[in-house]
């Protein structure tokens, strides 16, 4: 008789947990996965997927306007938020069902309950049942940080933003990172007045400075407002539901919605990890080694709960590596080098490898190639919005160590170009490729 109820018990059915559960089961393990909310996790239910659908929806504002310059007679168009919201939520529900089906088709037992760890090999379910497992995988993700100041409860987070009963006329967004810039673009295109408020004067910390500056310039040109070096003091809510937001260093702002986008913190509270000797760090993240193993030998963790790189494809890689290593007899470690990333702002930006600043700090000599151009479509549309591509090259080896871009379809273009950066190709290799004309991507091989 088996010593444990399961070979693997996964807590959290998000991107990392689902991949780990499915692949472990395919390797022959008896697997259960517990999820207290919805199968799919942040990315599918209240993150990347519904966000990208809103980005598509928002882009029609400009496309419909530009269409007139391309000869189309476009009548006055109105945007109806409930239609887009409900269609997006319907798609999310379809995906949740598809994820659940995939798990069940791989013989993974899906348990729709909260689970907490009660020992190195033991988990207790909210319904009262206790089960045992040879291995436990913590894949509980992260949640939006809620700042603490008087009236902060009047703000919402990215968890709630997909369910708004109506489109807010005036939007204030706290933070200047991924979520802040993506939703600033979305709400601005829907016609809301948008103000971004940040504690520093840096947007999208970590991205290349020239690219960040270009997004700031374009965003301001479009009419998005920014308040920098502003810390929230308090928020008051009037009877008519108007919020008055008080900050240090600038006048109060009135808004109909305050969205907090000031980072995400790992979901480890109340998980019972201490009962198994699983250590967490000062940010609340599960400490793991290169094989995703925690300080308890039978317990592993993948994805945002480990606070390494908070990106879905990384969590998926970690889940796959865990399953292959522990159940597939194929020891695998995730390579964290040259991870491409993108911000789906308006316009979007994307990058891979070292920024110019990082390269100058790390390498002896650096060459930078820039292409600053107006996309053909924008020229005819009369849209004064310039794209910017930057290649960062090691001056000694000619290796392209970084690629950064902002402009239409940048994330789509960068995904392919990231292969070249990951493969450590040289600038000379880029130059040897014949341009594909007329495209925006041809700029990548024409920079001299
Ligand atoms: P980010 O880490 O991107 O940005 C956080 C922002 O909040 C920064 O502007 C930061 O300011 C500010 N901030 C941080 N702490 C505080 C604080 N205590 N008080 C006030 N301001 C603060 O976080 P997001 O919430 O936008 O996104 C969370 C994560 O989700 C991202 O890091 C990313 O990994 C992931 N994500 C990825 C997306 C994608 O791939 N396209 C899309 C959305 C999210 P400063 O920089 O000045 O310190």
Mean per-residue pLDDT for 317-335? 98
Alpha-helix runs per DSSP H in 327-447:
356-362, 376-381, 410-422, 427-431
**314: CA distance to ligand 1 center in Å?**
17
| pLDDT exceeds cutoff 90 at 282 | yes
Residue 155 and residue 236 in contact, taking contact as beta carbons nearer than 8 Å: no
Comparing CA positions, the residue from 356, 340, 358, 338 lying closest to residue 348 is 340
Atom of ligand 1 nearest to the CA of 342: 41
Residue count of the chain, please give it. 448
Residue 400 and residue 426 in contact, taking contact as beta carbons nearer than 8 Å: yes
Backbone angles phi, psi at 302, to 5 degrees: -135, 160
pLDDT value for 249: 87
| pLDDT exceeds cutoff 90 at 362 | yes
In which band, very low, low, confident or very high, does the pLDDT at 291 lie, cut at 50, 70 and 90?
Answer: very high
Residue with CA closest to ligand 1 atom 38:
178
Mean per-residue pLDDT for 387-396? 98
pLDDT digits (tens, 9 = 90+) for 242-257: 999 999 989 999 999 9
Pocket test for ligand 1, best of 176, 178, 183, 205 (most atoms within 8 A of CB): 178
Pocket test for ligand 1, best of 144, 179, 202 (most atoms within 8 A of CB): 179
Residue 356 and residue 405 in contact, taking contact as beta carbons nearer than 8 Å: no
Task: Give the span between the Cα atoms of 181 and 189, in whole angstroms.
Answer: 12
DSSP 215-273: HHHHHHHHT-EEE-S--EEEEEE-TT--EEEEETTEEEEEESEEEE-S-EEE--TTS-G
Per-residue tokens: 40 = 């799919």
In which band, very low, low, confident or very high, does the pLDDT at 200 lie, cut at 50, 70 and 90?
Answer: very high
Domain 6-144+265-326 is classified in which CATH homologous superfamily?
A: FAD/NAD(P)-binding domain (3.50.50.60)
**Catalytic status, residue 80:** no
Atom of ligand 1 nearest to the CA of 48: 42
Atom of ligand 1 nearest to the CA of 145: 25
Residue 163 and residue 85 in contact, taking contact as beta carbons nearer than 8 Å: yes
Task: Give the span between the Cα atoms of 8 and 302, in whole angstroms.
Answer: 14
Q: Decide: helix, strand or coil at residue 161.
A: helix
Residue with CA closest to ligand 1 atom 9:
176
Atom of ligand 1 nearest to the CA of 261: 25
pLDDT value for 237: 98
Residue with CA closest to ligand 1 atom 35:
310
Residue 253 and residue 245 in contact, taking contact as beta carbons nearer than 8 Å: yes
Catalytic pick from 188, 246, 346, 437? Answer: 437
- Using a 6 Å CB cutoff, which residues line ligand 1? 147, 175-180, 182, 198-200, 202, 205, 261-264, 310-311, 341-344
DSSP 202-226: -SSTTS-HHHHHHHHHHHHHHT-EE
pLDDT value for 28: 98
In which band, very low, low, confident or very high, does the pLDDT at 2 lie, cut at 50, 70 and 90?
Answer: confident
170 CB-contact burial (10 Å; exposed 0-12 / middle 13-18 / buried 19+): middle
pLDDT digits (tens, 9 = 90+) for 99-136: 999 999 999 999 999 999 999 999 999 999 999 999 99
CATH class, range 347-445: alpha beta
**205: CA distance to ligand 1 center in Å?**
9
Backbone angles phi, psi at 405, to 5 degrees: -150, 150
Mean per-residue pLDDT for 284-291? 98
Fold of 152-262: FAD/NAD(P)-binding domain (3.50.50)
**71: CA distance to ligand 1 center in Å?**
41
- The domain spans of the chain are 6-144+265-326, 152-262, 347-445
Domain 6-144+265-326 and domain 152-262, same fold? Reply is: yes
Per-residue tokens: 6 = 């399961």
Q: For the chain, how many helices (H) and strands (E)?
A: 11, 21
**203: CA distance to ligand 1 center in Å?**
9
Q: Decide: helix, strand or coil at residue 58.
A: helix
Q: Residue 168: count other Cβ atoms within 10 Å of its Cβ.
A: 23
pLDDT value for 1: 60
Q: In 62-129, at which residue ranges do the beta strands (DSSP E only) sit?
A: 109-111, 115-119, 122-125
Q: Decide: helix, strand or coil at residue 143.
A: strand
Task: Give the span between the Cα atoms of 214 and 202, in whole angstroms.
Answer: 13
**219: CA distance to ligand 1 center in Å?**
18
Task: Give the span between the Cα atoms of 313 and 318, in whole angstroms.
Answer: 9
**354: CA distance to ligand 1 center in Å?**
20
Pocket test for ligand 1, best of 53, 158, 177, 285 (most atoms within 8 A of CB): 177
| pLDDT exceeds cutoff 70 at 332 | yes
């Amino acid at each position: 008789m088996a010593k444990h109820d399961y070979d693997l018990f996964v807590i959290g059915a998000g991107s990392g947990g689902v991949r780990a559960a499915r692949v472990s089961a395919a390797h022959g393990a008896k697997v259960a996965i517990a999820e207290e909310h919805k199968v799919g996790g942040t990315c599918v239910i209240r993150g990347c997927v519904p966000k990208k659908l809103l980005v598509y929806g928002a882009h029609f504002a400009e496309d419909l306007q530009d269409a007139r310059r391309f000869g189309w007679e476009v009548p006055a168009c109105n945007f109806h938020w409930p239609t887009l919201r409900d269609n997006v939520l319907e798609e999310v529900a379809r995906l949740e069902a598809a994820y659940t089906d995939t798990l069940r088709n791989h013989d993974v037992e899906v348990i729709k309950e909260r689970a907490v760890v009660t020992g190195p090999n033991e988990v207790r379910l909210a319904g009262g049942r206790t089960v045992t497992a040879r291995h436990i995988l913590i894949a509980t993700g992260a949640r939006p940080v809620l700042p603490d100041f008087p009236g902060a409860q009047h703000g919402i987070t990215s968890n709630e933003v997909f369910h708004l009963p109506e489109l807010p006329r005036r939007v204030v967004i706290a933070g200047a990172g991924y979520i802040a810039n993506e939703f600033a673009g979305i709400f601005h295109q829907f016609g809301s007045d948008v103000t971004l408020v940040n504690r520093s004067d840096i947007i999208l910390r970590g991205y290349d400075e020239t690219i960040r500056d270009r997004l700031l310039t374009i965003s301001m040109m479009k009419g998005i407002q920014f308040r920098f070096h502003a810390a929230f003091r308090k928020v008051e809510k009037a009877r008519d539901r108007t919020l008055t937001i008080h900050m240090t260093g600038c006048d109060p702002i009135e808004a109909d919605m305050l969205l907090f986008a000031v980072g995400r913190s790992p979901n480890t509270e109340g998980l019972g990890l201490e009962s198994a000797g699983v250590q967490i760090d000062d940010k609340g993240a599960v400490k793991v080694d290169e094989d995703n193993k925690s300080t308890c030998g039978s317990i592993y963790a993948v994805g945002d709960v480990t606070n390494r790189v908070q990106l879905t494809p990384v969590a998926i890689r970690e889940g796959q590596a865990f399953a292959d290593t522990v159940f597939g007899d194929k020891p695998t470690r995730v390579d964290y080098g040259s991870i491409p990333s993108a911000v789906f702002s308006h316009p979007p930006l994307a990058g891979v490898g070292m920024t110019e600043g990082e390269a100058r700090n790390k390498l002896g000599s650096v060459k930078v190639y820039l292409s600053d151009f107006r996309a053909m479509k924008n020229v005819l549309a009369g849209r004064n919005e310039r794209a910017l591509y930057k290649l960062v090259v090691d001056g000694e080896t000619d290796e392209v160590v970084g690629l950064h871009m902002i402009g239409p379809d940048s994330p789509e273009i960068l995904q392919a170009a990231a292969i070249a950066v990951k493969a450590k190709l040289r600038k000379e290799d880029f130059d040897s490729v014949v341009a594909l004309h007329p495209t925006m991507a041809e700029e990548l091989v024409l920079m001299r």
